[in-house]
C-alpha cells in the first residue's frame, strides 16, 4: 500500500513540481517536535499538503532551507530509511516526554498531599521524610532521563520542569527535617522539665545523685566538715563543675544544684522557660 506522502511525491505536489526547487542533494540539520496539539502542527513546505508534527529541517548547498515531513525529507536527501529512523527516534523521545509529564503531574499531587499533612499536624509522622526521600530518588532519575532527551532532542523545557520540581522536593525534605528537629528538641525540653520538676535521686555512699534521661547529672555529697556541697555536669561535657557554696542540709544543696543545672540547660537551648 502506497503511503499518502509517497503518493504526493509521485504526483509532484507542491514544490515537487517547481523547477526552481532542487529535488535532491538536501541534508537534514535536525528534527523539531511541534508538540502534541494539532493546532501547533504545520504543513510540509515541500509537498504543501501533509500536516506534520515532527519537522525535518532540510538544507541545500544552494542556501535553501525547508521544513519537511518524513517522507518528503527522505526523498530530498535520497535516503528514505535514514529519514524514517530520525522520525522514529524523535517519536520515541516524544513518548518518553509525555510519559514523564504524566508522572510529573502525579508527583506534584503527591508532594502537595505530603505538604498539607505536615502543615496541619504538629506531630509530623516520621514516615514523611522517607516518603520524600523516595520521591527525590525517583525524580532525580527522571531529571537525568530528561537531561538526555534535552541534549539529544532539544526538549529543554521538559528538563527544566523536572529540575525545578526536584528543587521543590529537596526544599520539602529540608523543611521536614528542620520541623522534625524542632519537634524533637521541644519533646526533649519538655521531658527534661518534667524530670527536673520531679527528680528521682539515687543514694550514693556520701550523698545522692540525680541523672536525667539525657545523661545530665547532679551529685550531692557531705563534706568532712559536715556541710553539704554538690557538682553538676551537662551531657557531653568532659569536666564537672563544682559548687562554691556550702549548705547545712542535703535538700538545700540539692535544690541549689538543680537550679544551676536548669540555668545551664536554658543557656544551651535545651530547656525552655
Q: What is the pLDDT of residue 4?
A: 75
Q: Could you tell me what percent of the chain has a pLDDT over 70?
A: 94
Q: Grid coordinates standing for 159?
A: 528538563
Q: Grid coordinates standing for 21?
A: 526547487
pLDDT tens column, 21-50: 999 999 999 999 999 888 889 999 999 999
pLDDT tens column, 162-172: 999 999 999 99
Q: Does position 1 have pLDDT exceeding 50, yes or no?
A: no
Which residues does residue 209 pair with via DSSP β-bridges, in sequence order?
Answer: 202, 219
Q: Does position 271 have pLDDT exceeding 60, yes or no?
A: yes
Do 36 and 64 meet the contact criterion of CB atoms below 8 Å apart?
A: no
pLDDT tens column, 122-164: 545 667 889 999 999 999 999 999 999 999 999 999 999 999 9
Among 77, 70, 72, 64, residue whose Cα is nearest residue 26 = 77
CA quadruple 164, 166, 168, 174: dihedral sign:
negative
Do 85 and 39 meet the contact criterion of CB atoms below 8 Å apart?
A: no
The torsion angles phi and psi of 211, rounded to 5 degrees, stand at -130, 130
Q: What is the pLDDT of residue 182?
A: 83
The alpha-carbon radius of gyration of the chain (Å, integer) is 37
DSSP 247: B
Q: Grid coordinates standing for 185?
A: 528538641
pLDDT tens column, 193-213: 999 999 999 999 989 999 999
Which residues does residue 231 pair with via DSSP β-bridges, in sequence order?
Answer: 219, 242
Q: Does position 116 have pLDDT exceeding 50, yes or no?
A: no
9 contacts: CB under 8 Å, gap ≥ 6: 16, 47, 71, 72, 75
Amino acid at each position: 500500500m502506497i503511503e499518502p506522502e509517497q503518493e504526493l511525491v509521485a504526483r509532484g505536489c507542491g514544490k515537487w513540481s517547481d523547477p526552481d526547487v532542487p529535488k535532491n542533494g538536501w541534508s537534514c540539520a535536525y528534527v523539531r517536535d511541534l508538540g502534541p496539539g494539532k493546532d501547533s502542527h504545520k504543513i510540509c513546505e515541500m509537498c504543501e499538503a501533509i500536516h506534520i508534527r515532527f519537522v525535518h529541517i532540510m538544507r541545500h548547498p544552494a542556501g535553501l532551507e525547508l521544513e519537511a515531513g518524513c517522507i518528503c525529507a527522505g526523498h530530498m536527501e535520497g535516503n528514505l530509511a535514514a529519514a524514517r529512523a530520525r522520525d522514529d527516534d524523535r517519536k520515541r523521545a516524544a513518548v518518553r516526554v509525555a510519559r514523564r509529564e504524566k508522572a510529573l503531574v502525579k508527583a506534584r499531587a503527591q508532594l502537595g498531599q505530603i505538604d498539607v499533612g505536615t502543615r496541619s499536624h504538629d506531630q509530623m509522622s516520621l514516615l514523611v521524610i522517607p516518603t520524600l526521600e523516595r520521591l527525590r530518588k525517583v525524580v532525580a532519575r527522571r531529571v537525568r532521563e530528561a537531561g538526555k532527551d534535552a541534549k539529544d532532542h532539544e526538549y529543554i523545557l521538559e528538563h527544566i520542569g523536572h529540575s525545578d520540581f526536584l528543587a521543590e522536593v529537596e526544599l520539602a525534605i529540608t523543611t521536614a527535617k528542620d520541623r522534625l528537629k524542632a519537634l524533637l528538641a521541644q519533646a526533649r525540653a519538655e521531658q527534661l522539665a518534667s524530670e527536673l520538676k520531679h527528680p528521682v535521686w539515687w543514694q550514693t555512699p556520701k550523698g545522692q545523685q540525680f541523672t536525667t534521661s539525657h545523661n545530665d547529672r547532679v551529685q550531692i555529697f557531705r563534706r568532712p566538715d559536715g556541710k553539704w556541697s554538690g557538682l553538676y555536669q551537662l551531657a557531653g561535657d568532659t569536666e564537672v563543675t563544682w559548687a562554691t557554696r556550702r549548705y547545712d542540709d542535703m535538700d538545700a544543696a540539692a535544690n541549689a544544684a538543680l537550679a544551676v543545672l536548669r540555668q545551664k540547660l536554658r543557656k544551651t537551648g535545651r530547656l525552655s522557660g
